[in-house]
Structure formats: structure tokens, C-alpha cells
Amino acid sequence: MPPMVLEQIIPFERLEKNPWLILFISFIFVSFAVLLTRYFYPNDRGVVVILLTIMPAIPFFLNFIRVEEKKHELSSSKKHSLFTIYRPLIMLYAFFFIGTALSFALWSSALPADLSDYMFSDIKDEFNRLQNAYVPAMHQPTSAFDFILNKNLLVLALMILFSFIYSIGAIFLLTWNAAMLGVFIEVHVRAYFISLSQQFGLFAYPIAFVMGSVEGLLSILPHGIFELSAFFLAALGGGILSVAFERGTYRHRAFWCIVLDSMKLFLLAVVLLVAGALIESLYA
């Protein structure tokens, strides 16, 4: 696959040293998706924004994973921990998710409420559906644990399945969940904006966005760390495995190292989901 223009502007080596740059890359992807949907697909809604976001993200992720896998092949004879080997990719997924969530939060809260509700209606409808199912389940810790774990295991299984069907297709679910977090943060931002608008005038929105984002992100702690980490690891495991199959390195020792690494990542993801569901059900 020929290199993207973005890769020529910001080389992968620079992203490895400065992974926070991925926050800006994800903002560019989401912003183009929102603007394209607004002016070229005015009758379409949230899912189209998601699809337009992942269109440039997929080749970007594929090329990044290919580069890292080649490095892994060269050093496959050496013993390293999973985190050491895949640290650049873990940081890639983590910063992409955070950047995408904050970008959706920014656009959904900055747009007029009626336009925001229309453009992101699919995402907000799903968010409200999950919230309505979540509240009754929280009355009993056992049923809450089962509800949370089953929901998250389903997302995990779909991420793995999507990765096999279409390379790193898990990016779709990762982006969808980031968008859901974004509209969740929007609620906090708008609440702060209403209370601050008279006091701070033009500066009310930037202050409200920072305070609402911090409050929204803190509200999903500590269980969110476990759950999001599990999704990152599942997406990473599916991504490296699908790229390894695509590259056709079956006869090389490095291929089987990657298969083993993927299984370890999937298993660790399940353990993290169990821990996250237990914490959330106890402290919800």
C-alpha cells in the first residue's frame, strides 16, 4: 500500500517518540468526517460520521502495524515482554481512542443542540438505550456484574470477529465506543456551559469543555481503565494477527510468535474485563 500523505508529514518514527500527536491526527479524521457529513451527506447521521472517520484511519493503522511487525520479526529471537514489544501500538490505540472521544465531544457540544442531536442521533440513541438498560441492572450487584460483563464480552468478541473479516475492522467498534464516550462527555460540557455562560461570556465554552471532559472521564474511573485497556488489547491482538495473515508469513517463526502474542492479548483482555465488571458492579 502506498504511503499516505499524513505518514509523509508525520513519520511513524516521530509518532513512536511522541504518541500524543495521534490526538491531533484523530481530531483531523473526526473533523473531516463531521464536515463531509454536514455538507455532502446532510440527510445521513451518526453511522456515516463513524464510517468517514475510520476510512483514513484503517490504512493508517495497517501501515503502522506492518512497520511494527517487521521490527518484531527482526527481534523475534530476543525475549521481551508483551508491553515492550507492542508498546508503540498500544499507545497508538489508546491515544487514537482518547483523541476520537474528545473530538466527538467537542463537535457534539459545540454544534447547536438540535443539529448535534440530528447529526449524532444514531450514536445518542444507542447511548440512551444502553443507559436505560443499565439503570435497572444496577440494583443488584450480581445482576449488574452479569450485565456489564456480558455486554463487554460481546463487544470484545465482535472486535476479534471484525478483525478477521476485514483486517483491523475492530477500529469500527473502537471508534463507535469512542463516539459514545464523546456524547457522554457532551452532557457534562453542556451542563457546565449553561452554568458558566453568564459569568465568563466568550470564555464559557472552553472552560466548560475542559471541566466537562475532566468530569466525564473521571466518572468512568476506575473501572473504565480496565475496560478500555481490554478493548485496546483485543483490537491490537486482532490487528496484528490479521496483518500477519495478510502478509502471508505462515512459514516463518515470527508468524507463530505473533499468533501466540495475539492469544495472550485476548486472554489478558478477558481478565481485564472481568476485573472492570467486578469494580463497576460493586461501586456503581
pLDDT in tens, 217-257: 998 888 899 999 999 888 888 888 877 777 666 666 777 78
User: What pTM does this model have?
Assistant: 0.88
- For the ranges 54-68, 196-210, 227-241, the lowest mean pLDDT is seen at 54-68
pLDDT for 175 beyond 90: yes
Q: At which residue does the C-alpha cell 491515544 appear?
A: 95
- For residue 213, the number of C-alpha atoms closer than 13 Å in the C-beta half-sphere is 19
Burial class (CB in 10 A: 0-12, 13-18, 19+), 77: exposed
The percentage of the chain sitting over the pLDDT mark of 90, rounded to a whole number, equals 40
Whole-angstrom distance, CA of residue 37 vs CA of residue 44: 7
More confident residue, 253 or 271: 271
Q: Which domain holds residue 9?
A: 5-283
Split at pLDDT 50, 70, 90, the class of 206 is very high
pLDDT for 6 beyond 80: no
**Selection from 223, 48, 87, 236 nearest residue 152 by Cα:** 223
Domains contained in the chain, number: 1
